[in-house]
């Protein structure tokens, strides 16, 4: 076994590998760039080595820097994590020359499976079911249009070296092929240094299901069940689960057998994933093989009890697998939610900044399940523009799917992130979607259920009542504590005033306190209008970011932040401002003027900190709604900014290649 390994990565995956290495008694070395000098993985590792400037192209992607770190620290092996150098055959080849072991598959397998075009040809030869398409390199837009016309729409335009949703576009027409080809090729060139493209048939209403394989250098290869990854946005996975609610035993066995056959055919060792798209009749087609550890590997670990990182380390050390196929048992259900630094209310644009508050749910038992949170950040850490916006991978495990979802919903309600925008409200809304709850999934799930993007919704009556009661409970606790600190005497001989008005959003709701079971405001009975009386019990303090309590015996968790204008409540996908007032104050509140937001429709604003890749407008140009005005790159993704209405460009304030801050003015219109 190794005595010291280096992790050639950053963020949550570096932290996750370090945890297993520490459990095995292996010393760890972290590498870091300028932007990551205070990162969590640097703090967790036994040693840390600086490898360059903040840009990945000058640090994490420089093979010589990694080898230099190995030599300086005496690391015997390198775990690549995912992304960066994990699927570049040149990396393990260079490590081998330096006498360092690569914790992953042999270079030949990476070459065979790492190129999407070659891997598809290889899979066909190995007898694996594949998607119809054109296997050759496509050099021009015109060629792509001709091939797409021949295959038939819709088609998927993909970068041969792509991954993680980058360098991929779906086209339903010739016009979409033209724009999609250019954007995908540019994105692939920027992210992978390789803009080779190909086109294949897009399967309508497919499910994305992948098989986890594990192989050693002694001829043993097994599969560890499947993961359903159909909940995607922009081809980027958002929610994953294991097992799939769609597969039957026969399909699972057939997919597993083909995956093992493919792995053996390429001489694969270590952990890898064979991805398939599956149609509504359970016909499955090879998509690609990821020759590395997957982002979503925790759900497989939770249902099998197998530590995949440990197995990768043992295989790299030359050990045979101790697990045979008959030993693999799928128990319970696991779900993973990817928590991203992005603004779901602004088209999921990336968000950067400092985590002024970061309080994930506690790992361990929660309700009928348990929580696991793989993260690489901490309170006070900074989310920079240089890397993917992932904050954490929140996982839950329970005896069945229904309980795992319920545990996830509660865990998301308990996840506090402040200082940046994040997608937790969107994830919470997904957990309550009827089609998700029933397992009716496709890769078009988000596009179908959120055709106009994610927008705040108004609470229904039940939700409205609960938020009113929570707001009242917070205010009562605040007033009792204030009275105790100031020595002020409360009216009515220590009994809180019975009548209140809670303004939730713009709606005012009268509430009557019928009974105070405790003078500290932790236990009371109230009534909203003519509804039934409700008992509210809590021990949360007003300043705490989470309100925890029971409403009529039902455990409830609501995020709460006290502001000058009231209490900002976040519950699931609901976000409302609550103001708790005495009746006479509520009457005066109605007289307060309403601030009208400024009209910004004359400006094209940069929606996130990023780099202007291209500008498509000049002064005096007439533009139509939907026209492309600019392309902004942030966190490895290119974002197309379009005109929201017809107009004429009056001024151009930005230049191509310029880095802009959020809300910087790019264009002005007449």
Cα 376 to Cα 40: distance, rounded to the nearest angstrom = 6
Q: What angle do CA 462, 467, 469 make, to 5 degrees?
A: 95
Which of 288, 301, 342, 475 is labelled catalytic?
288
Q: Residue 662's Cα: distance from chain center in Å? A: 21
User: Can you name the residues that pair with 516 across neighbouring β-strands?
Assistant: 524
Give the pairing of strands 546-551 and 534-538.
antiparallel
CB atoms within 10 A of CB 591: 6
Cα 290 to Cα 305: distance, rounded to the nearest angstrom = 22
Q: Is the peptide bond before 154 cis (omega within 30 degrees of 0)?
A: yes
Annotated active-site residue 12? The verdict is no
Cα 582 to Cα 492: distance, rounded to the nearest angstrom = 15
Q: Residue 220's Cα: distance from chain center in Å? A: 33
Question: Which of these, 224, 372, 395, lies nearest to 300 by C-alpha position?
Answer: 224
- Which tokens in the block code for residue 242? 């294991």
Cα 615 to Cα 191: distance, rounded to the nearest angstrom = 20
Q: Which residue is listed with tokens 């979802």?
A: 405
- Which tokens in the block code for residue 217? 């250098």
Cα 313 to Cα 103: distance, rounded to the nearest angstrom = 6
Element (H, E) at 4: strand 4-7
- Which tokens in the block code for residue 34? 């300028």
Cα 357 to Cα 450: distance, rounded to the nearest angstrom = 29
Residues contacting 559, CB < 8 A, separation 6+: 413, 416, 545, 546, 547, 569, 570, 571
Question: Which of these, 366, 520, 387, lies nearest to 59 by C-alpha position?
Answer: 387
Please identify every residue annotated as catalytic. Answer: 288
């Amino acid at each position: 076994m190794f005595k010291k390994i280096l992790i050639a990565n950053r963020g949550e995956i570096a932290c996750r590998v370090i945890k297993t290495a520490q459990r095995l008694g292996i010393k760890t070395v972290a590498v870091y760039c300028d932007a990551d000098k205070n990162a969590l993985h640097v703090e967790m590792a036994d040693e840390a080595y600086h490898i360059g400037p903040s840009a990945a192209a000058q640090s994490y992607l420089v093979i010589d820097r990694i080898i230099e770190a190995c030599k300086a620290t005496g690391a015997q092996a390198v775990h690549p994590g995912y992304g960066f150098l994990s699927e570049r055959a040149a990396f393990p080849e260079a490590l081998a020359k330096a006498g360092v072991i690569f914790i992953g598959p042999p270079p030949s397998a990476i070459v065979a499976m790492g190129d999407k075009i070659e891997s598809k040809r290889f899979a066909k030869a190995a007898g694996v079911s594949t998607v119809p398409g054109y296997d050759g390199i496509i050099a021009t837009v015109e060629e792509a249009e001709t091939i797409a016309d021949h295959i038939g729409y819709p088609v998927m335009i993909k970068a041969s070296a792509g991954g993680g949703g980058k360098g991929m576009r779906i086209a339903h027409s010739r016009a979409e092929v033209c724009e999609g080809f250019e954007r995908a090729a540019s994105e692939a060139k920027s992210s992978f240094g390789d803009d080779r493209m190909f086109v294949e048939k897009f399967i309508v209403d497919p499910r994305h299901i992948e098989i986890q394989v594990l192989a050693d250098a002694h001829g043993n290869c097994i599969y560890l069940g499947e993961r359903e990854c159909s909940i995607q946005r922009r081809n980027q996975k958002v929610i994953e689960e294991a097992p799939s609610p769609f597969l039957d035993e026969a399909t699972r066995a057939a997919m597993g057998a083909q995956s093992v056959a493919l792995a053996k055919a390429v001489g694969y060792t270590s952990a890898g994933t064979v991805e398939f798209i599956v149609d509504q009749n359970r016909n499955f087609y090879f998509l690609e093989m990821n020759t590395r550890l997957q982002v979503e590997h925790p759900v497989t670990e939770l249902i099998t009890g197998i530590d995949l990182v440990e197995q990768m380390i043992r295989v790299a050390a030359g050990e045979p697998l101790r697990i045979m196929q008959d030993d693999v048992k799928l128990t319970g259900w696991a779900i993973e939610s990817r928590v991203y630094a992005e603004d779901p209310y602004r088209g999921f644009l990336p968000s950067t900044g400092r985590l002024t508050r970061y309080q994930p749910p506690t790992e361990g038992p929660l309700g009928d399940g348990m929580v696991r949170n793989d993260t690489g950040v901490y309170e006070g850490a900074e989310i920079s523009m240089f890397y993917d916006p992932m904050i954490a991978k929140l996982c839950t495990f329970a005896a069945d799917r229904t309980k795992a979802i319920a545990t996830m919903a509660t865990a998301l309600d308990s996840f506090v992130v402040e200082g940046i925008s994040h997608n937790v409200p969107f994830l919470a809304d997904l957990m309550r979607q009827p089609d998700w709850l029933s397992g009716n999934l496709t890769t078009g799930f988000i596009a179908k259920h959120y055709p106009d993007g994610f927008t705040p919704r108004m609470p229904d009556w039940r939700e409205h009542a609960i938020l009113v009661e929570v707001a009242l409970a917070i205010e009562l606790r605040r007033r009792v504590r204030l009275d105790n600190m100031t020595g002020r005497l409360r009216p009515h001989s220590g009994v809180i005033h019975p009548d209140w008005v809670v303004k939730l959003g713009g709606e005012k709701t009268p509430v009557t306190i019928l009974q105070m079971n405790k003078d500290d405001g932790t236990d009371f009975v109230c009534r909203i209008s003519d509804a039934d009386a409700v008992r509210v019990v809590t021990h949360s303090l007003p300043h705490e970011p989470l309100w925890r309590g029971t409403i009529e015996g039902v455990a409830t968790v609501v995020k709460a932040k006290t502001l000058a204008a009231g209490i900002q409540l976040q519950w699931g996908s609901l976000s409302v401002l609550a103001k708790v007032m005495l009746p006479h104050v509520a009457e005066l509140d109605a007289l307060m003027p309403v601030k009208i937001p400024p009209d910004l429709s004359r400006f094209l604003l940069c929606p996130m900190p990023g780099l202007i890749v291209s500008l498509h407008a000049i002064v005096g140009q007439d533009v139509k709604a939907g026209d492309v005005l600019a392309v902004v790159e942030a966190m490895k993704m290119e974002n197309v900014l379009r005109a929201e209405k017809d107009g004429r460009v009056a001024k151009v304030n930005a230049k191509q290649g310029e880095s802009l801050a959020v809300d910087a003015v790019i264009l002005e219109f007449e």
